[in-house]
Structure 1
Amino acid sequence: MAGDQENDVQFASALAADLRATIGRLKRRLQEQSGASDLTSSQITVLVRLDKEGPATASALARAEKMRPQSMSAILASLEEAGMVVGSADPHDGRKTLISLTKLCKRWIDVGRAARQDWLTRAVREHLSPAEQKRVAAALPLIKRLAEK
């Protein structure tokens, strides 16, 4: 009985290591397709959050990303310098500044997203048989459940 539990733990550990490495490689391949290599992962994370959730204050972004406000300020300053974000007065509290994506950044995100989607669609069609595509589709809900934990 104890041997079965040990085997289960070893199997889960090996599966987790392989899954992490594989998803990491896929993430890097997708980033290569979008031209996001000039940005740090922290900068990309902030841009993705603003894209999904809309404008936010620097302090709200820092809390959401679990980082010090000073670190977030440095990230935002570099993104503002690159023309990716802009600050404007909060219409509900003029003392606060809301950070939002610029039109240039929104276009960059859309172009990058389309490039990643096109690359992945081609890769799936060219490298996976229809039966393999169905197997990946069947595993996707399990991977999504892991990602939500």
Structure 2
Amino acid sequence: MAHDDTAQLATDLRVAVGKVTRRLREQTPGSDLTHSQLAVVSLLESGGPATSTELAKARGMTPQSMGTIVAVLLDSGYVEKSSDPRDGRKSVLSLSDEARRQIASGRLAKEDFLAHLIETTFDAGDRRRLADAIALLRRVAEAP
């Protein structure tokens, strides 16, 4: 493939993924969280409870900046704070039950949207090609 073709393919992929992402966001309206706040929620969901310092290191930001993000998440009820069982001077942050419910509900809404779209828009051949494309997208997402 020529360099110009590769560059155009990269552009087309970026645009298409961006549009799909926006369509999926539309399925869960009402989230007022910023990108940085969502990233912290995601870290807590995937990695479990953590201190603010650990979250700051994971995101490559200053503890002060993370403190601002955490304060908003605490105020909004997405995150709860408790004493660190290893060191009572520190606080451990974790997702609230309500945040977990909202995350699960949002994922279900997105998956329902996609399932309906696939079912009503694509024939069997399209579905096979989509499955192949998903395998390629995973490789893109997991590439070093």
Would you say same fold, with TM above 0.5? yes
Structure 1 residues 1-149: aligned runs within 5 Å: 8-35=2-29, 37-149=31-143
- Paired amino acid for 1:93: D
Structure 1, unpaired ranges of 5+: 1-6
**DSSP-derived class of the 2:111 partner:** helix
SS of equivalent to 2:81: strand
Give the CA RMSD over aligned residues: 1.3
Q: 1:35, CA displacement in angstroms?
A: 2.3
Q: Percent identity?
A: 41
1:80-119 CA distance string (max 9 Å, x none): 1111101111111222211100111111111111111111
Q: Which runs of 4+ in 1 moved over 3 A?
A: none
1:45-64 per-residue CA deviation (whole Å, 9 max, x = no partner) reads 11112111111111111111
2 CA distance for matches of 1:27 and 1:84? 22
| TM-score after normalising by structure 2 | 0.92
Report the Cα distance in structure 2 between the residues aligned to 1:84 and 1:17, rounded to whole angstroms.
35
- Separation (CA, whole Å) in 1 of partners of 2:107 and 2:21: 13
SS of equivalent to 1:140: helix
TM-score, L = length of structure 1: 0.89
CA distance in 2: counterparts of 1:8 and 1:96, whole angstroms: 55
Rounded to whole Å, the distance in 2 between the matches of 1:29 and 1:119 is 9
Aligned residues: 143
Deviation at 1:36, TM superposition (A): 5.2
Structure 2 unaligned regions, length at least 5: none
Distance 1:36 1:16, change over 3 A: farther
Question: Which amino acid letter does the alignment assign opposite residue 141 of structure 2?
Answer: A
2-side partners of 1:129 and 1:66: how far apart?
Answer: 44
> Distance between the aligned counterparts of 2:2 and 2:68, measured in 1?
45
